[in-house]
Amino acid sequence: MVDKIHTDVLKQSDKSCLEGCAEIEDKFLRVCKKYARVWGVELLVPDIMKPDFIRWRTLVKRYNKGDFRHTDSELRSLKEIAQWTVDTNAALCKQPTTKIQWRS
């Protein structure tokens, strides 16, 4: 029996990935502050999003240390957190949400 090969390996991040990660982190922190200002409580990530949040934070920490690599699962999590952040911000502003269009 052949074991499943682990394919979620680190790959070099391109400039758009690095910039996107920094932009999403900034937007996430602004939404957290806005949520606290509007509702008077800290914004909590839903339980269903926690695995994505952990992978995203791992990616951010790696980037902050100067290691500019990512795995496919971290990139998917980055996109999920970005969409969740946009949706949360739209709800706070009582605006309709928009779907982020990602380049391939």
Q: pLDDT digits over 68-80, tens only?
A: 999 999 999 999 9
Does residue 103 lie within any of the structural domains? no
**At residue 35, does pLDDT exceed 90?**
yes
Does residue 101 lie within any of the structural domains? no
**Mean of the pLDDT values across residues 23-48?**
95
Does residue 28 lie within any of the structural domains? yes
**What is the model's pTM?**
0.87
Does residue 2 lie within any of the structural domains? no
Q: In the structure encoding, which two tokens stand for residue 96, read together?
A: 């309709």
**At residue 3, does pLDDT exceed 80?**
no
d(CA 5, CA 49): 26
The count of structural domains within the chain is 1
**Mean of the pLDDT values across residues 44-63?**
95
**Mean of the pLDDT values across residues 16-42?**
94
Which stretches of the chain are assigned E, i.e. beta strand? 11-12, 69-70
